Amino acid sequence: MLTKARILSLLFSCMLFSTSALAAQVYHLRLAESWPPNFPIFGESTKTFKQQVEALSGGRLRITIHAKNKHKAPFGIFDMVRSGQYDMGHSASYYWKGKDPNTLYFTTMPFGMTAPEQYAWFYHGGGMQLMEKVYDKYGLLSFLGGNTGNQMGGWFQKEINSVADLQGLKMRIPGFAGEVLAKLGAKPTNIPAGELYTALERRTIDALEWVGPSLDLRMGFHKIAPYYYTGWHEPATELQFLINRKKFASLPDDLQAILRVAMQSAAHDMYARSYHESAMNWAKIRQEYPQVQIRTFPKPVMDALRAANEQLLAERAAQDPLAKEIIASQQAYLQKVRAWTRISDQAYLNALSE
């Protein structure tokens, strides 16, 4: 029989239960980004991501973003997410080539794919699967993190008219593209962002590459270097979201889906934003600094750079079966997708500029 006490106890249980059902569990993820606080474009993509996640989950998933002034380790993201010190990171895959040389291939490659070509490769040409293969052994998941668009070849104090002009050229150009240039006798150096302007102005360096008008305008290089070269070395720089795999797997299915789509959305938004900012800033430079001259490396220089690039890739492929697989996938895909670009966007653009 139901005594008054028994019914009272049932009522308490019920109240406890309904309270917990209502106050759905809230999850928190901590994200470390490689950028300074409020860094334009790159930093906006983590903010977009955070807003999306919180709106999509109705507040059940919260993101805390730490910029580099907090964690002091812009190039430590890989390790911090791997160890679980942070749950997520926003950075770039090619920063980790010292830890694993095969992380190099998932940002952009000299003479490689443009952004639309590369998105097709990532999503439909096997790129995401290859990236997963590389990151899997570290307990990490890597997702696309936003594209800068085609990066400019850089600001030069003097014209490059022949391969000989590259001899001894002191240029700030980090990473794999620096290795390619070094093969032709240039002296690639890395200099902290804050010192670049002075270094170029005082001719400590002859040239530098940064990003493109989207981020170059605020650096002021157009005031001190006359030649702005078109790009070859980073045709489609894609940033990266890193996630600790164990942490990701511990989330409910719907929050995993929310993370995936919010990263994808932030990435695509960054590409559109980069394109927009580049267009607006390039218009501004053209109007206010008409003395800036656009140059493209002459064919013999491009050919030499390309040959050096291919030689370096062949060396990497010979050393590591997974490198070989990734390079082969990219090269085979590029051949097909570029043939399409030639008769579509490129033919269209060329027909209108004749």
- Enumerate residues 133-192 that contact a second copy by CB under 8 A: 149-150, 152
Q: Are 49 and 263 in contact (CB under 8 A)?
A: yes
Q: Residue 209 is encoded by which pair of tokens?
A: 């590459």
Q: Does 328 bind a second copy (CB under 8 A)?
A: no
Which residue number, 149 or 188, has a Cβ lying nearer to a second copy? 149
Taking CA atoms, 154 is separated from 150, 208, 232, 276, 331, in Å, by: 12, 5, 10, 19, 25
Q: Does 218 bind a second copy (CB under 8 A)?
A: no
Which residue number, 161 or 346, has a Cβ lying nearer to a second copy? 346
Q: Does 272 bind a second copy (CB under 8 A)?
A: yes
Q: Which of 116, 139, 174, 226 binds a second copy (CB under 8 A)?
A: 116
Q: Are 242 and 78 in contact (CB under 8 A)?
A: yes
Q: Which of 167, 218, 276, 307 binds a second copy (CB under 8 A)?
A: 276
Q: Residue 63 is encoded by which pair of tokens?
A: 């993101």
Which residue number, 203 or 342, has a Cβ lying nearer to a second copy? 342
Q: Residue 28 is encoded by which pair of tokens?
A: 């928190």
Q: Does 230 bind a second copy (CB under 8 A)?
A: yes
Contacts of 177 (CB under 8 A, 6+ apart): 110, 188, 209, 233, 234
Q: What is the gyration radius of the CA atoms in the chain, in angstroms? A: 24
Which residue number, 120 or 163, has a Cβ lying nearer to a second copy? 120
Instruction: Choose one: 96-104, 131-139, 166-174, 269-277; the region binding a second copy (CB under 8 A).
Output: 269-277
**DSSP, residue by residue, 316-344:** HHHH-HHHHHHHHHHHHHHHHHHHHHIII
Which residue number, 125 or 175, has a Cβ lying nearer to a second copy? 125
Instruction: Choose one: 71-79, 163-171, 318-326, 338-346; the region binding a second copy (CB under 8 A).
Output: 338-346
Span between the terminal Cα atoms of the chain, in Å:
94
Q: Are 30 and 84 in contact (CB under 8 A)?
A: no
The angle that helices 321-341 and 127-136 make with each other, rounded to 10 degrees, is 160
Instruction: Choose one: 131-139, 171-179, 188-196, 278-286; the region binding a second copy (CB under 8 A).
Output: 278-286
Which residue number, 164 or 261, has a Cβ lying nearer to a second copy? 261
Q: Which of 258, 313, 323, 326 binds a second copy (CB under 8 A)?
A: 258
Q: Does 323 bind a second copy (CB under 8 A)?
A: no
Q: Are 332 and 326 in contact (CB under 8 A)?
A: no
Least Cβ distance, residue 256 to a second copy (angstroms): 9
Q: Does 354 bind a second copy (CB under 8 A)?
A: yes
Q: Are 222 and 292 in contact (CB under 8 A)?
A: yes
Instruction: Choose one: 158-166, 167-175, 225-233, 307-315; the region binding a second copy (CB under 8 A).
Output: 225-233
